[in-house]
Structure 1
Amino acid sequence: TLQKSPLVLAQLGRVVSIVDIATPQNLIEAWGRNASYHFVFTRQNRGKLDDLSRLVERGQLKPVVGAVYPLSEVGQAHARLEQKSNGLRGKIAIDVTA
């Protein structure tokens, strides 16, 4: 996905990722669109992720989802997040399967 991202960017678009770059990317497409890349570097800990997965599987950890929006309404979901009193308790999930 990260390698194909420059091909779908709008002018002045942004790519934001927590994915590590294993190989150099071809950024000519992104450069031509005056795009920017933002990376958040995290320390990976597979053991903690496995522990969390087991808690979810056993039903001991349940994420709180306050709203679900289809991918076609991601703009509305983002606008709701920006509202001070958005009435949300939990996270907004984006349904990419619809």
Structure 2
Amino acid sequence: MDYEAENFINVIESEFDGSVDLVFDTVGGETLVESTEITKPHGQMVTILEPEGAWGTAYQKNLGVQMLFLERARRPLDALRRLVDRGQLDPVIDSVLSLEEVAEAHDMVEGGGLTGKVVLDVVGS
């Protein structure tokens, strides 16, 4: 889904019969609060960013809201790599840059509008 071209609430309403059990927010801002509209009562919401907005609806629907700090640990990354190697996970990559281009990579991520992840090639550097 292109979050800049499509309204995620409309997509959820049409693709998932109006609501979901779990929301995992990687966008930030008011996205999580807006997601309370399409989260089932007693559903779960997780964000990796600082959420904003008014939380009255989450309270009224008895939603669980969790803040997740992403830790840099090898074990989960190895598990993801195995999924990719087996063809069970197909990551969307916007750009591959050399380690020397790390400042450009940061600018791209901070600028938004990417269609996938920015990957730093540390082996080829």
User: Normalization by structure 1: what TM-score?
Assistant: 0.42
User: Normalization by structure 2: what TM-score?
Assistant: 0.34
